[in-house]
Homo-oligomer: A and B are copies of this chain.
Amino acid sequence: MKNIKELIIVGAGIAGVSAAVYAKRSGLDFLIFEPSAVGGQLLSMQAIDNYVGLGLEAKASQMAENLAQTLKDLDIHPVNEKVAKISHQDEILNIDTDKGIYQAKVVIAATGASFTRLGLEQEAEFTGKGISYCAVCDGFFFKGKDVAVVGGGNTAVEEALYLSQIARKVTLVHRRDKLRALEYLQKQLLAKDNVEIIYNSIVVKPQGQQFLESVLIEDVLTKNKRRLDLNGLFIAIGISPATEVFKELVSLDDKGFIITDEEMKSSLDLIWACGDCRRRPLKQLITAASEGAVAAISVYKYLKGYYISV
């Protein structure tokens, strides 16, 4: 068995990297695990215009590179292994990866989440070029333009409401004959002049040259297809946190997100969480970065014995 680390951070998206920066600066003995490249969801994003300090013209790929460089500069080298299982014996966590076994006093979960895809051909190619999974992230790019939202739950209706303040027109495309969203959200949506709802329909094909220009939608009853011209397509059919290895250890909410307090501590003292795998009011790069910092410093205080809950 290797030596027991004070901390293992699982995931090197922006939350994990921020945690690593603060852990390093605190002098903690830690590792960070990341089976793929540093950057997490940044790797599939394009522009970033809402991360204060970076200006309005930042590129996601550059930010991902910047995070990787920051780790390098701080002599932090991500362990390229996938965590398969975590268990705990007394006050020590055992972490099994696809390549080895590790032990740590504390784990910070920074494993992120992934949006459910529609599964369309070219969905990936158009992501960041018209297709988005987050209205608060990308809505502003479509100011005065036409967008559609796919889905019928609370998130889809919230996204449509949010976009109705920014876009010229919002079309909500839902595969069933009624929405699942809460009644009062539906009422608000129906009161909007610039929102149209198309029921019993699915998006079958995104179309466009470099950027999205239209989608083909199909009526699921008649099988008729028609073209809907638009600039943006927001897909809001679900999000899955990558919390599989934590689910036996800590309390999750009904969607699988890790529940923590404001210091990022989960229901088990040994597991802390930050970023998209955590239940939180706002999923953004800036909130993930902040939570990574809070998690690391809170863990530091916890390990050093002067943790005082706010």
On A, residues with C-beta under 8 Å from B are 14, 17-18, 21-22, 25-27, 50-56, 58, 63, 66-67, 69-70, 73-74, 136, 139-140, 154, 158, 161-162, 165-166, 184-185, 188, 262-263, 279-282, 284-287, 289-294, 297-298, 300-301, 304-306, 308, 310
Contacts and interface: CB of A to CB of B under 8 A. Distances in A.
The secondary-structure label for the interface of chain A is helix
Contact of A290 (B70, B73, B290, B300): B290
B310 A279 contact: yes
A62 to B, nearest CB: 9
9 contacts: A21-B52, A52-B289, A52-B292, A53-B66, A55-B70, A154-B308, A162-B300, A279-B310, A282-B297
A52 B14 contact: yes
Q: What are the 10 closest A-B residue pairs judged by CB atoms, nearest first?
A: A290-B290, A27-B165, A25-B140, A18-B52, A287-B290, A263-B281, A281-B310, A282-B294, A286-B290, A52-B289
Nearest to A27: B165
A292 B262 CA distance: 16
Contact of A297 (B136, B154, B165, B262): B136
B70 A66 contact: no
Contact of A26 (B53, B165, B289): B165
Contact of A280 (B56, B69, B310): B310
A306 B67 contact: no
A187 to B, nearest CB: 9
Contact of A50 (B21, B58, B262): B21
Given A70-B52, A70-B56, A185 B25 contact: no
A174 to B, nearest CB: 18
A227 B71 CA distance: 38
A17 B139 CA distance: 19
A243 to B, nearest CB: 16
B282 A293 contact: yes
Contacts of A293: 50, 282, 284, 286-287
Given A26-B165, A52-B67, A70-B52, A290 B291 contact: yes
A184 B306 contact: yes
Given A70-B52, A293-B284, A161 B263 contact: no
Contacts of A298: 281-282
Nearest to A296: B282
A37 to B, nearest CB: 16
Contact of A306 (B17, B136, B161): B161
A53 B25 contact: no
Contacts of A70: 52, 55-56
B188 A306 contact: yes
A279 B136 CA distance: 26
Contacts of A166: 25-27
